[in-house]
Amino acid sequence: MIVRVLGSAAGGGVPQWNCACANCSAARAGRRPRRTQSGLAVSSNGDRWLLLNCSPDIGAQIESFAPLQPRQSRGTPIAGMLFTDANVDHIGGLATLRQDGAHRFVLRSSAVVREIATKQRAFWRFAQAPHRWLDVPFEEACAPAGEDDLAGRELEVRAIPVPGTTPGYDGRRDCAGAVVAYEISEVEGTKRLLFAPVFASIDERLAAAIASADVAFLDGTFFSETELVAQELMPKRASELGHLSLQGPGGSLSALDGAAARIVFTHINNSNPILNPDSSEARVLRDAEFEVAYDGMELRL
């Protein structure tokens, strides 16, 4: 299984258009890499690809990765998409992809995410023919079963509801299915990928999924609960925005102590000091042998 990081940043990317924080300024000056909004592309064979989230940066992400580019006058090797939540940074790219009305996409998400997304005028057409927007069953393997969206019909997907809320534009409702994680493996393989870029806490189900994964891409949005406030960027705590911070009692780093999986943090906010490799926070991650995702990162399982 081939795993390509299309984007590694939280909403707005790095640099964010209206932000002059230290990380955004360093990215603008070329001292650190720019980052687009987070998402993965996964394939069993490098021919057909499954997108895990579809950010507003999807056009640039396709142009930066030749295997996702068309191979004839009109077409795409993108077979389907999975959505973890209805935040704009994870579904906004659909507004770009809908220009190709002749192509058939099969999309999968929780029923809650589908209902929220398809109420928006920019996305409702994806619930209409020729597209199909299917609800994923929780805790059950979603095998290819004749659908041509699972990257060559050789991938198996399992959706896991995780703690979280609906987006701010939907009132941040706390309901089952507002946020999900995905386990992905090859039908004939043994390696398991976990994609969980958003969660408010690590509950028993998510902890079990991390323990059984070979590679886990996890929510690395904020290092501390109060970093937005401390940097005078926004009067909001990490938990108010639906994210578990890395640091502190009950934070991800303590929960992941001793994890056997390869841990890669993604969906990193521009305020997060781990974006500076010389920071003490980045050293904490390196000492724990945790990784920070970057645009263009590629893994093979």
* Residue % of the chain over a pLDDT of 70: 94
The pLDDT tens digits of the residues spanning 254-284 come to: 999 999 999 999 999 999 999 999 999 999 9
Q: Which residue has the higher pLDDT, 263 or 96?
A: 263
DSSP label of 251:
-
Q: Examine the pLDDT at 193 and tell me if it is beyond 70.
A: yes
How far apart are the C-alpha atoms of 262 and 193, rounded to whole Å? 10
Q: DSSP readout, 219-263?
A: E-S-SSTTHHHHTTS-S--TGGGT---SSSTT-HHHHTTT--SEE
Lowest mean pLDDT of 52-61, 81-90, 101-110, 271-280, name the range: 101-110
Mean residue pLDDT of the chain comes to 92
Q: Examine the pLDDT at 153 and tell me if it is beyond 70.
A: no
Q: Examine the pLDDT at 144 and tell me if it is beyond 70.
A: no
65 burial (CB, 10 Å; 0-12 / 13-18 / 19+) is middle
The pLDDT tens digits of the residues spanning 231-246 come to: 999 999 999 999 999 9
